[in-house]
Amino acid sequence: MDQKIKTVLDDAKSKIESAKVVKDLEQIYIEIFGRNGLVTNLTKQIKDIKPQDRASFGQSVNSAKKEIEEYLEKKRSSLIVSRPSTPIDITAPGKKQQIGHLHLVSQAMEEIAGIFKKLGYSLQSYPEVDWDWYAFESLNMPKNHPARDDWETFFIKGDPPAGGKSYLGNLVLTPHTSNGQVREMERVKEPASPKAASRGGPPIRMINIARCYRRQIDVSHTPMFHQFEGLFIDKNVSIADLKGTFDYFTSHFFGPKRVTRLRPHHFRFTEPSFEVDVTCGVCLGKGCRICKSGWLELGGAGMVHPKVLKAGGIDPQKYNGFAFGWGIERTIAMKTELPDIRLLYQNDLRFLEQF
Ligand code: DAH
């Protein structure tokens, strides 16, 4: 190879080698291939070469050119790998990690259980799929009684249990948490462990929180929902105890300005029975566009029917008490002014992240 070409090749390579970042290669390219560049000047000299040597000189210039170009590309990729073309801005604010939280329904369950715990209630858990006996019959709703229609129940096909327990009937998806009432009465009479003596029966202060199922869906109903059931059994329990308990719960859950009222109602498992209302959070009982009457309906309650106590093996001559069963989604809707409880189960983060 001609000495001139060799010199250009070496100079070009050392220029390329001196590049520290990709951008440096732009200037170096001009110095090699620009109008006055090393290679360009070499090409210009071809015409001055003796005719017999011109062809081989030209070929050598071309292969040198090719070699330089390849060298340049290699250098470019090595610089791209070793250095990011956009520098890191160490003063930019850091990326915030998203922290999750409990679902609104779980939050409410914890809060409700916490309030009743302060009144000495224990949290029990009773089946979501239960026998007809616990869901209806033991609650003074015999088979084929029209009162059952209100519960829009999902029934499960299958044979009733054998071994003398056919009184339990078939299985149902529990349409309310009241199935926990007679189960709790049974629990407090059993020994706590095989070795321990019997717990001996009442007093009972129970909260049962569970899923319930009914054939209903609209702005205030979902086919699966939650209820919390309270059961209080002792000697000489009065309606004043029931009312005091509800006012305590309401002021802690909804805020100190909210109070309750009882409206006469009918349930087969309580006598007398009530619907419990809470003052509206917007007008505090005066009546407004949202609530109209000033009151919002919380749920059912009443003094436990003697027949239910008997079904649970408790002597109604000795003991009495009250019970209540309210929807969790409903209480959330009343606290947060939620227009449609179905929003709770659509898993839309834009909604859930607000709580
Ligand atoms: N179980 C009833 C329902 O789902 C609510 C209810 C009413 C529960 C009165 C009670 C009660 O414990 O005493 O509609």
Q: Under 8 Å CB-to-CB from 6, ≥6 apart: which residues?
A: none
Q: Which amino acid is at 136?
A: F
CA 185 to mean position of chain CA atoms: 33
pTM: 0.73
Smallest CA-to-CA distance from 19 within 10, 9, 29 is with: 29
Neighbours of 55 (CB within 10 A): 11
Average model confidence (pLDDT) across the chain: 92
- Residue-wise pLDDT for 139-169, tens only, equals 999 999 998 989 999 999 988 898 889 999 9
- 186-206 average pLDDT score: 88
Residue 48 is predicted with a pLDDT of 87
pLDDT in tens, 37-65: 899 888 888 888 889 988 898 899 999 99
Angle at 62 between CA 56 and CA 63, to 5 degrees: 90
Range 104-352 has CATH code 3.30.930.10:
yes
Residue 95: the pLDDT is 87
Note the pLDDT of residue 192.
79
Enter the tokens of residue 47: 């015409």
Percent of the chain with pLDDT over 70: 99
Q: Which of 322, 333, 329, 332 is nearest to 300 (CA)?
A: 322
- Domain borders along the chain are 3-81, 104-352
Residue nearest to atom 4 of ligand 1 (CA): 176
Mutation test residue for ligand 1: of 183, 267, 304, 328, the one with most atoms within 8 Å of CB: 267
Nearest in space to 248 (alpha carbons), one of 108, 109, 117: 117
Does pLDDT of 15 surpass 80? Answer: yes
Residue 211 three-state SS: strand
Residue 41: which of 18, 65, 63, 67 has the closest Cα? 65
The whole-angstrom separation of Cα 188 and Cα 21 is: 80
- Expressed in angstroms and rounded, the spacing between residue 215 Cα and the centre of ligand 1 is 17
CA distance 134 to 128: 11
What is the token pair recorded at 31?
């110095």
Whose alpha carbon is nearest atom 10 of ligand 1?
Answer: 324
Instruction: Say how many Å lie between the CA of residue 231 and the centre of ligand 1.
Output: 11
CB 222 less than 6 A from any atom of ligand 1: no
At 177 the pLDDT is 98
Phi and psi, residue 192, nearest 5°: -65, -30
82 falls in which pLDDT band (50, 70, 90)? Answer: low
Determine the Cα–Cα distance for residues 131 and 153; give it in Å rounded to an integer: 12
Q: Percentage of the chain with pLDDT > 90?
A: 69
